[in-house]
Amino acid sequence: MATALAAYLDFLAAQRRLSPHTLSNYRRDLLRLEQVLAGRALAQVQAQDIRRCVAQLHGEGLSGRTLGRLLSAWRGFFAWLGEAALISCNPCLGIRPPKSPRRLPRALSVDESAALLTPAEDENEALGARDTAMFELFYSSGLRLSELAGLDLAAVEGVLVEGEVRVLGKRNKLRLVPVGSPARAALAAWLNYRPRLAAPEEEALFVNQQGRRLGVRSIQRRLAERGRRQGLAQHVHPHMLRHSFASHVLQSSGDLRAVQEMLGHASIASTQVYTHLDFQHLASVYDRAHPRAKR
């Protein structure tokens, strides 16, 4: 089992070119399979064994969403074993996780987004300009955290001249995303301060006080701190700005395909959650405004 797991993870890294974060998730899910099989030979695993594992983990408190992710990782692993002629059939085929309530992503309102993008009065001038540029780009383009942290200075030329940014998304897929004028202005302002902080030959667009590329954890902390300083009631995390971007664009345009393209979703099913979020917003407006909404 351990040898097969190591070979499969090497395959995912080399052939499918998954990110280190995704590989870590796969490794954790497959180690869970190794634990529940308790030394059973892979070629002897049957569908009833997988069902028993799922039932056992569900009884331990794992949600249907988590079990669905586990089954997806296991299914891919057994499919790879089958292609290598190490097993005769995939025991995970046809097995579904228990259903669990679907959680809607949390998004900021337009007013909350505007407050978050306003620099706090007590912020350091250079760092405030950097943070504002980062958060404006987050909200303007719906980037993932890893995509924002991975931007190089060379990407800014396309942003300022053409109004779009080229990002490297999941599985090394390139996509072009439009950038609004406030984000372009914030980036131009940050470029005036960047030479004071950046180390020589540093390629990163956003750098820390040591002059090196700003890491994802630092971006998370800076965003949460900006939210607290601006008096937002909820904890603000980077994906919330991505959710806000998608929700606000969909509310204004109703174009689900365009939102899918800008977010870089492989399947439109991932984007459709924002239609539910949009309906939730409309329902809240109805509850507040319609005279017959409440007794």
Strands (E), the chain: 164-168, 174-178
The stretch 98-109 carries a mean pLDDT of 70
> How far apart are alpha carbons 69 and 100 in whole angstroms?
13
- Domains of the chain as residue ranges with CATH: 2-83 (1.10.150), 110-286 (1.10.443.10)
| Catalytic (active site) residue 242 | yes
Residue 86, phi then psi, degrees to nearest 5: -95, -20
- Res 283: pLDDT: 54
| Catalytic (active site) residue 21 | no
Nearest residue to 189 (alpha-carbon basis) of 128, 113, 115? 128
In the set 144, 194, 226, 248, the catalytic residue is 144
Give 20-37 pLDDT, tens digit per residue.
888 898 999 988 888 888
For CA atoms 212, 215, 221, 222, give the dihedral sign.
positive
> How far apart are alpha carbons 166 and 270 in whole angstroms?
21
In the set 213, 222, 242, 248, the catalytic residue is 242
- Indicate the DSSP class of residue 204: B
Residue 213, phi then psi, degrees to nearest 5: -55, 135
Least confident of 109-118, 151-160, 170-179, 273-282: 273-282
Most confident of 104-113, 124-133, 238-247: 124-133
* pLDDT > 90 fraction of the chain, expressed in percent and rounded: 20
> How far apart are alpha carbons 2 and 5 in whole angstroms?
5
Looking at the DSSP bridge assignments, the partners of residue 174 are: 168
Question: DSSP 3-state assignment of 228?
Answer: helix
In the set 32, 58, 65, 239, the catalytic residue is 239
Task: Using pLDDT thresholds of 50, 70 and 90, give the confidence band for residue 135.
Answer: very high
Q: Is the pLDDT of residue 289 over 70?
A: no
Q: Which residue has the tokens 């949009």?
A: 278
| Catalytic (active site) residue 276 | no
Q: What phi-psi label fits residue 30: left (phi over 0), alpha (psi between -120 and 50 degrees) or beta?
A: alpha
| Catalytic (active site) residue 294 | no
Least confident of 46-60, 98-112, 195-209: 98-112
In the set 265, 276, 281, 290, the catalytic residue is 265
In the set 69, 170, 237, 281, the catalytic residue is 170
> How far apart are alpha carbons 1 and 32 in whole angstroms?
12
| Catalytic (active site) residue 144 | yes
> How far apart are alpha carbons 190 and 163 in whole angstroms?
16
Give 53-63 pLDDT, tens digit per residue.
888 888 888 88
Alpha-carbon 249 to chain mean position:
18
Cα-based distances in Å from 117 to 122, 130, 161, 203, 233: 14, 11, 23, 25, 15
- Res 270: pLDDT: 58
* pLDDT > 70 fraction of the chain, expressed in percent and rounded: 81
| Catalytic (active site) residue 265 | yes
Give 205-239 pLDDT, tens digit per residue.
999 999 999 999 999 999 999 988 888 888 888 88
